[in-house]
Chains A and B, each alone.
Chain A
Amino acid sequence: MSFPTRSDAPVIAIDAVTVRYRVPRDPALTLKEYAIRRLTRRVSFREIDALDSVSVTVGEGEALAVIGPNGAGKTTLLRLVARVLTPTSGRVRVRGRVAPILDLVGGFHPELTGRENVYLNGTLLGLTRREIDSRLTGIVAFAELDGFIDAPVRMYSSGMVARLGFAIASDVDPDVLVIDEALGVGDERFQVKCAERLDRFRERGVTLVLVSHDMHSVRRLCTRALWIDRGHTQALGATGDVVDAYLAAQRTRR
């Protein structure tokens, strides 16, 4: 008789989660208009369920793919795991440090140097200054930016910016890695490097949640897949089965 250890319990537990956006029918509602309409009881909202009672658990070291058409709620699900969004109803629980690999290019300030941006982005990801001190060399080397790191980011090519973004985000020693379509970064050679780094994460037992339209990387990286469409779970199971069903449905829809 062995006690269930920590690793038997899911790292991510999502129970019957619903995320409901209340969108005012008039998008640009100002305070003045709002006050007038409230008084005349004419404020009307449209309710949109980005997710509708979705449940899924991810165990330690597991890799879950979230697939579905645009607007299915994939990014919303990632935001729940990343603590950015709290669900309207249901419950989200996560163990350990979550690191998102998203396209963080928007987080760079063009007037600051690469080095200054590494510190800014690193602290945004929850690292301390000292932790970044010890990682800086590795980040610069991985992003292949030696000699450019003290130039302002506005002088970088978009490939350089993307490489730096991936290098920082993937260097935070996460327990849970959340990836949103960020695999198509840089040129082919750099993409291979990214893939290798992801494989190393997987070997170390890092839990992975991947949102992607690229079924090739989904099949290669993930053990299980969740297919959602307009906030509803369509299928949840082994990657091969779910991807096949999803692709079949896509074909018949066309």
Chain B
Amino acid sequence: MAGITRGFVGKRRERDPRLPPGQYDARDEWPVLHAEATPHIPTDRWTFTIEGLVENTVTWNWDEIHALPRSRYEGDIHCVTTWSKLGMTFDGVSVDTLLAAARPLPSATHAMAVSHTGYTTNLPLDDLTGGKAWVVWAADGKPLDTIHGGPARLLVPHLYFWKSAKWVAGLRLMDHDEPGFWERNGYHDRGDPWAEQRYQGD
């Protein structure tokens, strides 16, 4: 256990069991923390592509992705900067549906999520499959705000939220792991909030 800080008892004593260690409930706030200028991407110029180690490189435009079966996530999100938001609803399409069209090769083990801004973040393919990941365009029933990644972002809510790339442009499937933007700058390659995998070595 870490050293005790003289005089500290903490203010937020009632812990919601949905909060991973070291997180607090942001309640009505939804902090905005991306490291680039917010891009304004019209939906008629938005695309999503799965490429790399797949049988089919597939690109969907806005209308095409909306024609796919819808999928909803209801639950919590956790940011590495220690805020969490509980009981959110996101609507979009399951990454499973998208991958089924692209057909990953057996050699694919990891993916790089790429954003329309050039932002990148790496994920094991296992974290994107099995109903754990989405491309979403609505939050709590309203179109996703630009500052939160609209028109559409990746959603991988069981990992810290920097993995849920805003303004997502696609996935590049790989046979190895490779660090993305924050991961090159000291952040953890996987980012499990329940294991507090915030930085390299956690």
Instruction: Note whether A and B form a binding pair.
Output: no
Which A residues have a C-beta under 8 Å from some C-beta of B?
none
Name B residues whose Cβ lies closer than 8 Å to a Cβ of A.
Answer: none
